[in-house]
Amino acid sequence: MTQLLPIYKNHFMMNKTFKKILVWTASITLLLVVVLCVHIYIVTRPKLIDPYIKAMARIDFKQDLTGNDSVLITTWLYQQKGIDHVLCNPTNDIVVFTFFPAQTTANKIVGDFKSSHNYKAERYVPTQAEMASGCPMSSSTSYKFYSFIKHVF
């Protein structure tokens, strides 16, 4: 009987060690699953619009603008909610303005402008090729690396 006691004791110790390993493995796996769930939640939730971000838009006119038209257009745009800055160029028949996307959209501003004024105007929307070639930052190596990382993650 004394010879069997060490066998049982050894078996009991192995069982206890196996249970510890199993508990630790299950705990770490559960922790990793929770971290993964939190990560997925944070990444996929809708992004809030930063109220301090500015966007730029352009209106092209299909008719010649005079100096008086320029003043009228600039004044009207400054009165709109969310407009930050307006530049009207009557020689090229364009208006460029910056606005806060948290407050308004360029399409809304242009739509309101066209409905309240009798100008032949269209919002200028650049193509993807123009967007890619227009920004000097997009041709840099660091920006390409940043875009790759942003696309991957």
Give residue-wise pLDDT tens across range 70-120: 999 999 999 999 999 999 999 999 999 999 998 999 999 999 999 999 899
At 34, the amino acid letter reads: V
Three-state secondary structure call for residue 39: helix
Q: What angle do CA 99, 105, 106 make, to 5 degrees?
A: 75
Convert the pLDDT of each residue in 41-69 to its tens digit.
Answer: 988 888 777 788 899 999 999 999 998 99
Q: Give the Cα separation of 99 and 125 in Å (integer).
A: 15
- CATH number for region 55-132: 3.30.70.100
Residue 102 CB partners (closer than 8 Å, separation 6+): 49, 50, 51, 53, 82
For the chain, the domains span 1-45, 55-132
Alpha-carbon span 96 to 77, nearest angstrom: 10
Tell me how far apart the alpha carbons of residues 117 and 76 are, in angstroms, rounded to a whole number: 10
